[in-house]
Homo-oligomer: A and B are copies of this chain.
Amino acid sequence: MSGYRAAVAGATGVVGRAILTVLAEREFPLRKLRLLATERSRGTAVSFRGETLRVEVAGPGAFAGMDIVFFAVGTEASKVLVPLAREEGAVCIDKSNAFRMDPLVPLVVPEVNAGSLRGHRGIVASPNCSTIQMVVALKPLADAAGLKRVVVATYQSVSGSGRGGLVELDQQVRAIVAGGEAGVLFYTRQIAFNLIPHIDRFGPDGYTGEECKMINETRKILAMPDLPVTATCVRVPVAVGHAEAVNIETKRKLSRDEAWRVLSAAKGIVLMDGPDEGTYPTPLDAAGRDEVFVGRVREDPSVENGLDLWVVADNLRKGAATNAVQIAESLAAGGLLGSA
């Protein structure tokens, strides 16, 4: 029997379930699959490739014998469980914020920096959803023309907050359509038919945690520790799919044609930019897809070597599950996971 012994921690969450879907779709070689969650979900039946699996509780002993564990749990849970799983011998791929900026932990988007997986110490971090899709678009442009500055404004769907966000949007929309009042339970403000420019906690400088993540993670992944980046992160009433208006300055001039060529040749990108035919990506185009969609490419004459882009991806897939599974594939291909 070949394949890896793997576990998914947080298997009943929105991202955990997406990891199961992506593992099956991409036929990741599995010899054994263990589903883990909190006590509350113990025994829950989950079907995977026609088999019914029962959810077990994540905790000491749960990771023994595993080659790899996908963590799709919150930051505080990851801080406890990831070191435990590593001690029990598994390589951990963690989607939380717990280890991303740890200098000993590679922070990986395989299209961009798979090379940094070499020498991992048992933990690999997957970046924040909004970072992943942006760096996939930035990397080929940076390689082609150098990167001087990034200004990004995001349009982030509620599934980025997990099931709570999806339920809140759905319930508020239903209440309003029925002529009632939208109760606010999960977010700080009504999200249905509204926008919330507040994701994660505010820092003393006025930037939110989400904005800081985009800035710091982008620098680490691109290995450009001083790259000037500013971000405004906004929650929008969309279920799945994040979009980003990205303005960049490159070191050398890139014409629109050159940018199109570079982007369409890049791994993991679908260039969808036919303004004459009204073609551009929207969240609905990206939902259920693994690629990063780029459109609205324009030379920005307001600055030397300026370029505007519109970048869209499925935040549950490329922004989370797909990226984690691609990390596992890269580890496997590089012989960095033990033998299948």
Binding site for B on A (CB under 8 A): 149-151, 153, 155, 173-174, 177, 188-190, 193-198, 202, 205-207, 228-230, 232, 234, 236-239, 243, 245, 247, 256, 273, 275-276, 278, 280, 282-284, 295-303, 306, 308, 310
Copies of this chain held together in the complex: 2
> Is the Cβ of B194 less than 8 Å from the Cβ of A298?
no
A195 touches which of B155, B299, B303 (Cβ 8 Å):
B155
Q: What would 28 A/B residue contacts be, using CB atoms closer than 8 Å?
A: A149-B302, A150-B302, A155-B195, A155-B234, A155-B236, A174-B177, A189-B282, A190-B284, A193-B238, A193-B283, A194-B282, A195-B236, A195-B238, A195-B243, A198-B280, A202-B275, A205-B298, A206-B275, A206-B296, A206-B298, A206-B299, A228-B302, A230-B247, A230-B302, A230-B303, A232-B245, A232-B247, A236-B237
Query: Contacts A247-B230, A298-B205: A284 and B194 contacting too (C-beta < 8 A)?
Result: yes
Q: A300 and B230 in contact (CB under 8 A), knowing A155-B236, A189-B284, A282-B189?
A: yes
Using Cβ atoms and an 8 Å threshold, which residues of chain B touch A149?
302-303
Contact among B173, B236, B308 with A236 in the assembled complex (CB-CB below 8 Å): B236
A139 to chain B, nearest CB (A): 19
Residue pair B155, A276 in contact (C-beta under 8 Å)? no
CB distance from A294 to the nearest CB of B (A): 11
Contacts of A198 in B (CB 8 A): 278, 280
A203, closest chain B residue (CB): B275
Question: Does B284 contact A197, Cβ atoms closer than 8 Å?
Answer: no
Please give, as numbers and ranges, the residues of chain B lying within 8 Å of A155 by CB-CB distance.
155, 195, 234, 236
7 shortest interchain CB distances as A-B pairs: A228-B302, A153-B153, A153-B245, A202-B275, A206-B298, A232-B245, A230-B302
Contacts of A301 in B (CB 8 A): 228, 230
A230 touches B177 (CB 8 A): no
Q: Which of B194, B245, B276, B306 contacts A234 (CB 8 A)?
A: B245
Question: With A302-B229, A308-B232 in contact, is A247–B151 under 8 Å at CB?
Answer: yes
Q: Are A303 and B228 in contact (CB under 8 A)?
A: yes
Central interface residue in A155, A229, A302, by most chain B CB within 10 Å: A302
